[in-house]
Structure 1
Amino acid sequence: MKKSMFLILVCIFSAVSYAQVKYETFRSIKLDQSRDLKIQLPRNYTKNEDKTYPVIIVLDGDHLFEPVAGNVDYFSYWEDMPESIVVGIVQRKTREEDCRYDLAEYVPEGKGSEFFEFIGQELLPYINETYRTAQLKIIVGHDYTANFINYFLFKDNPIFQGYINLSPELAPPMGERITNVLTGAQSDLWYYLATATNDAENIKKDLVALDEKLSVLENPNVNYNFDNFEESSHYTLVGRGIPKALEKIFEMYRPISKKTYKEVILPLETSPYEYLIDLYDTTEKLYGFKRQIRINDFIAISTAIEKNKRWEDLEPLGKLAIKEHPETMLGHYYLALGYEQLGEPKKALRSYENGFLLKEVAFLTKDYMLDKVNKIKEDFGY
C-alpha cells in the first residue's frame, strides 16, 4: 500500500513539474499599476536552447488560462501543434475597465485604451525579450474580452495572427468592421468564432449573423472557422471551443494522417518527395518557424514512393532524411533501397552498411540492415 501511494505521489509531482507554470507580477507604466501574469513554458524549454516558440496571450487569465494552457500542453505533447508559450493576464477585478470602449466611436477609451497599449507596447515586447519567441502570436478572449481582442485586428500590421473568439459580446459596429478587415487582409490570419445553442440570446444572434457574412469570405489569406455547439451554454462552450480552435489553427502542422495518405498522397501523379518539401515549406511560411520533418511523415512518403514505384524519389528523400535525422538509419536505408531498385547494388551495399552503424528507428533494426547487406552479397557474390 505504501509503495502504491509513493508511486502515485511521484506521478503527481512529475506531472506538476512538466507544467512549468510561472507566476509573475509585471509593473506597467501605461496602466500605472502592476498586473499578475501566469506563464506556462513548454516542457523542454530549458533543454532546447535554440528553439523558438509561438506565444498565446490569454485574457481573463484568472479562469481562462488553465483550460488554454492544458490544451496547449496536451496538443503539443502529441505533436498536433507546436510547443507554445502561454501567457495569462489576470483580470478578475479589472476586466470591465480593461476592455472599456466609448459609446460613440466604439473604440477603446480611458483604461481600455491604456490596456490595449499595455498588451502591444509593454507585455509582448517583454515576453519577446525574456523568452525565445517565434513570429506567430495568438490571442484568446471570452465574451467581453473576446470583443476586445478584435481591436488588434484593425491595426495596419496586426501583432496577432490568430484570434480565438469565445462567445464575444460584440460592440454594435464590430461585426461589420471584422468583415471588412478579413475581406481585405493581406497576410495570413486565423479567425475562430464560437457560440452555443444555450448561449445568451443576444450574443448568439449577433454571432450567427456574423458567421453568415464570414462563411462566404473569399480571401485565401484568412482561415476562418465557426462553431455553434449544441446543448452548451455561454460558459461550457469554452471547454469545447478551445481545442477546436487550436485544431483548426494548426491543421497543417499535424502529422500526415492515414486519410491524407490514402486520399491525397497515394493518388499523386507528381512526386511524393516534392509534396513533402512543399508541405513543410508551406507550414514554415504560415507559422513563421522551421521545424524538423517527422519520422512518421518520412515513412508515409516513402511508403507512397514504394507503392507507386517512383524509385528515383528515394535518393533525394534519403539525403533529406540524413540531414534531418543524421543519427538514425533512415536516410541510408532510403538511399540503399533506391539504389537497389535502380540496379546499382554496390551503392546499395555501401548505404546499407553505413546505416547499420547508426541508431535503430521505426521498423529499421540492425538485424534487418544486416540481412539486406548479406542478401546483396549473396546475390552478387561480393
Structure 2
Amino acid sequence: MIWPTHRETNVPIFLSVLLLLFFIAFAPHAALAQDTEPFLSLGERRELHSDVLGEQREIIVGVPAGYEGGDETYPVVYLLDGPSHFHHTTGTARFLARNGRMPGVIVVAIANTDRTRDMSPPIQSDAGPPRPGTGGADNFLEFISGELMPFIDERYRTRPYAILIGHSLGGLFANHALVHRPDVFNAYVSISPSLWWDEQRLVVQADSAFDHAGDLVGDFYMTMGNEGGAMLGGALKFAGILEAKAPEDFRWEFKLMEEESHGSVPHRSTYYGLEKIFDGWNLHDPVGLYVAAGLEAVDRHFARASARFGYERTPSVGILGPIGGRALEDGNADDAEAVFSRLIEMDPNLAPAHNGLAEAHTLMGHQDLAIEHYQHALRIDPRNGRAREKLTEYGVDLSDYPESVDVPVSVLESYVGTYVVPDDPDEVLRFLLAEGELAVELEGRTYELYPTSPTRFKVTVVPVYVTFRSDEDGNVTGVAIDQAGETTEATRVK
C-alpha cells in the first residue's frame, strides 16, 4: 500500500503508459519516505516438547507483512540465540522485503536452554581442558530438522526453503550443519563462527567433506568482525577450503568486517547475508535486461530463480510494466502485446495494461482490438484521459462512458472511518470527506479518491483502487486495496 505522489497527465503517445507503470514498479521505494510499516515486528511465543532433547523448548515466531490477510507461503529463517537477535533480524528482513530485495520470510527464533551444549560439536581433540556438558550439536540439529521444522510447517504457511542464522557458537553450529547435514538447510548466515573450537576440528572435517560435495547446492555467507586470533584463522581456513573445493552451484562468500566488534557484527552480517542469499530472487533492472537480451532473458532469469529457491518465481506487475512501456517506446508491437496480455491475465482490472495493449494493437493495425481495450480501460477508470482521447479520435460514442459516477453523500459518509491492516497495526488508513469528495489519509498525506462504482474508488494520482466491504446488514466492515496486482485487506476499527 505504497503510493507515490506524482500526478497523472495526458502526455503524448507511449510515455503515458510508460510513466504510469514506472511508478507502479518503483512504488516500494517510496516506502522509505512514508514509513508505512512498523520498523520492528512483534512475535508470538510458543513452546514445544522435544523428545530428542528431553525438554520443553521456547520459540518466538514472527510472520511477514501481509501474512494474516493472504494465503501466500514463505521461506523460513531459523535464528539461533533467538531472543537476542529477533528484533533486528525481523526488522532487517521486513525492510529488505519492502524494498524488493528478498521475499517476506517467517522468522523462527530459538531460545536457549543450554547454549554451549546445543551448539558445540563433540570434542575429539585431547588438547586443552575437558569441557563437560558440551558436544550436543548433532542432537540439536536433529531437534531442529525432526521436530521443530515439522512443528512450524504444520502451523504456518511455509515454503520448502530454510535459512539458518547463527552468531559465535551459533555460527560454529551453522558451519557444522553445512559440513555434516547439508540436507537440512538451503542457506546459511554464519556470523563470526567460533571455529577455534576443538583445535579447529570442524575446519579439518570440512576439508574432507568438500572432497565429496560435488552435487551440493545452496548459499553460504560467512563474516568475521575484529576478533582476530584463532577465530579469524579458522574462518580464513574454512573460506580457503570453499575457494578450492566448493561445487559450481554452491554460492558462498566470506566478508571480513574489521570495523565491527564481536557484539556488533550480527546486524550488518544479517543484512548483507540475506541480501546475498536472495540475490537473483528479484530483477532490479528489468528494462536493462530486456533491452540487452529480450523477453526471453527476463523469463530465463525467473526460471533460474525458481530452480534455485525451490518454488515458482514469475515476473510481477512491477517488473513487466516498465518492459511493456519500453517496448511501446521502441515500436516493438509484438513484445508490447505479449507483455500487456500477461499483465491483464495477472490483473484484468489494471487500466494502464489495457491502455498499453490498445497501443500495441494500434501499432499492429488492429483498430477494433485497440478500441476494445480502450473501452475496457475506460470502464475500469472513467477518468482515463488517454483512453478517452483515443476513443474520441476513433469516433467512438462516449455517451455510455460518463466521466464520473454519482455516489450519494450518505453512502460516502458510511465509508468515513479508520481502517487497519490486521497484521500491521501501524498501517492505518483514515477515510474522510473533503468538500463532498472521499479522500484517504495515510501517514500524514491525504489522497483524493473518485468513484468508479458506488463501492469502488480510484486514488487520483496513481493506479490504486479501493473497494469497500460490507456485511449482510449493509454495515461497512473493511476495505480492499488493489495495487500492482496485489490486494491488501484492512479492517474497519471505528
TM-score strictly above 0.5: yes
CA distance in 1, matches of 2:181, 2:256: 30
**In 1, Cα distance between the equivalents of 2:270 and 2:255?**
11
In the TM superposition, residue 180 of structure 1 has moved relative to its aligned partner by 5.7
Which residue of the partner structure matches residue 282 of structure 1?
Answer: 304
**Secondary structure class of the residue paired with 1:319:** helix
The correspondence for 1:315, drawn from 337, 340, 352, is: 337
Instruction: Find 1:15's aligned residue among 34, 38, 52.
Output: 38
- Matched with 2:386 is 368
8 A contact 2:169–2:194 mirrored in 1:
yes
- Any conservation in 2 of the 1:328–1:359 contact (CA below 8 Å)? no
- In structure 2, relative to structure 1, the CA distance for the partners of 1:309 and 1:218 (3 Å cut) is farther
Deviation of the 1:244 alpha carbon: 0.3
Q: Is contact 2:328–2:359 with CA below 8 Å preserved after alignment? A: no
Matches within 5 A, 1:286-365: 286-291=308-313, 293-358=315-380
1:142–1:313 CA distance, 2 compared to 1 (3 A):
same
Instruction: Note closer, same or farther for the CA distance 1:155–1:377 as it changes in structure 2 (3 Å cut).
Output: farther
Match of 1:137, SS state, is: strand
1:59 aligns with 2:80: yes
Pair 1:66–1:253, CA change in 2 (3 A): same
Q: Tell me, in whole angstroms, the C-alpha distance in 1 between the residues paired with 2:122 and 2:146.
A: 21
SS in 1 for 2:231: helix
SS state at 2:292 partner: coil
Aligned to 1:188: 217
The one-letter code matched in structure 1 to 2:392 is: N
Q: How far apart, CA to CA, are the structure 2 residues paired with 1:374 and 1:220? A: 59
After TM superposition, the structure 1 = structure 2 runs for residues 256-267 of structure 1, keeping only pairs within 5 Å, are 256-257=284-285, 261-262=287-288, 264-267=289-292
Say whether residues 1:174 and 2:202 are aligned partners.
yes
Deviation at 1:113, TM superposition (A): 3.0
CA drift of 1:285 comes to: 2.0
For 2:283 and 2:352, the matched residues in 1 are separated by 18
Q: Aligned runs of 1:128-139 on 2, under 5 Å?
A: 128-139=153-164
* Partner-residue secondary structure (3-state), 1:169: coil
CA RMSD of aligned residues (A): 2.9
Partner of 2:122: 102
Offset at residue 291 of structure 1 (A): 4.8
Structure 2: which amino acid aligns with 1:102? P
Q: Is the 8 A contact 1:55 1:85 kept in 2?
A: yes
CA change 1:99–1:218 in 2 (3 A) is closer
1:37-52 → structure 2 map (5 Å cutoff) = 37-48=59-70, 50-52=71-73
After TM superposition, give the deviation of residue 339 of structure 1 in Å. Answer: 1.2
Q: 1:226 aligns with which of 224, 229, 254?
A: 254
* Counterpart-to-counterpart distance in 2, 1:220 and 1:315: 38
Structure 2 CA distance for aligned equivalents of residues 115 and 83 of structure 1: 26
User: Which AA in structure 1 matches 2:348?
Assistant: P
Deviations 1:29-57 (A, max 9, x none): 11111111111012221211x21110000
In the superposition, the TM-score normalised over structure 1's length comes to 0.83
**In 1, Cα distance between equivalents of 2:368 and 2:257:** 61
CA distance in structure 2 between the aligned counterparts of 1:47 and 1:105, rounded to whole angstroms: 53
Contact 1:55–1:137, Cα closer than 8 Å, also in 2: yes
Q: Which residue of 1 aligns with 2:18?
A: none
For 1:102, what is the secondary structure of its paired residue?
coil
Per-residue deviation, 1:324: 1.5
Q: Does 1:212 align with 2:237?
A: no
- For 2:381 and 2:266, locate their aligned partners in 1 and report how far apart those are by CA, in whole Å: 44
**Higher relative contact order (CA closer than 8 Å, sequence separation 6+):** 2
Q: How many angstroms apart in 2 are the aligned matches of 1:178 and 1:359?
A: 61
Name 2:266's counterpart in structure 1.
Answer: 238
Cα distance change on mapping 1:176 and 1:376 into 2, 3 Å: farther
CA distance in 2, matches of 1:251, 1:282: 12
Q: CA offsets per residue over residues 193-225 of structure 1, 9 Å max, x none?
A: 1013x2242111221233234345663321212
Tell me by how many angstroms 1:241 deviates: 0.7
User: Separation in 2 of the partners of 1:359 and 1:241?
Assistant: 46
Kindly indicate whether the alpha-carbon contact (under 8 Å) linking 1:255 and 1:294 is maintained by their aligned counterparts in 2.
Answer: no
Q: Match of 1:147?
A: 172
Asked whether the equivalents of residues 169 and 203 of structure 1 are also in contact (C-alpha less than 8 Å), the reply is yes
In the superposition, relative to structure 1, how do residues 282 and 374 fare at CA in structure 2: closer, same or farther (>3 Å)? farther
Q: Kindly tell me: are residues 222 and 330 of structure 1, through their superposed partners in 2, closer, same or farther at Cα, counting changes over 3 Å?
A: farther
Distance, in Å, in 2 between the alignment partners of 1:217 and 1:261 is 36
SS in 2 for 1:231: coil
Corresponding residue for residue 75 of structure 1: 96
Relative distance call for 1:338 and 1:175 in structure 2 (3 A) is farther
Indicate the residue corresponding to 2:416 in structure 1: none
In the TM superposition, what is the alpha-carbon distance from 1:25 to its structure 2 partner?
A: 1.9
Of structures 1 and 2, the larger Rg is shown by 2
TM-score (norm 2): 0.65
The aligned amino acid for 1:347 is L
Distance 1:180 1:321 in 2: 50
3-state DSSP of counterpart to 2:58: strand
Distance 1:246 1:346 in 2: 49
- Return 5+ residue gaps in structure 1 as ranges: 1-10
More helix by share: 1
Aligned partner of 2:472 in structure 1 is none
Runs of 5+ unmatched residues, structure 2:
1-33, 127-132, 397-494
Q: How does 1:85-124 map to 2 (within 5 A)?
A: 85-91=106-112, 93-104=113-124, 111-124=136-149
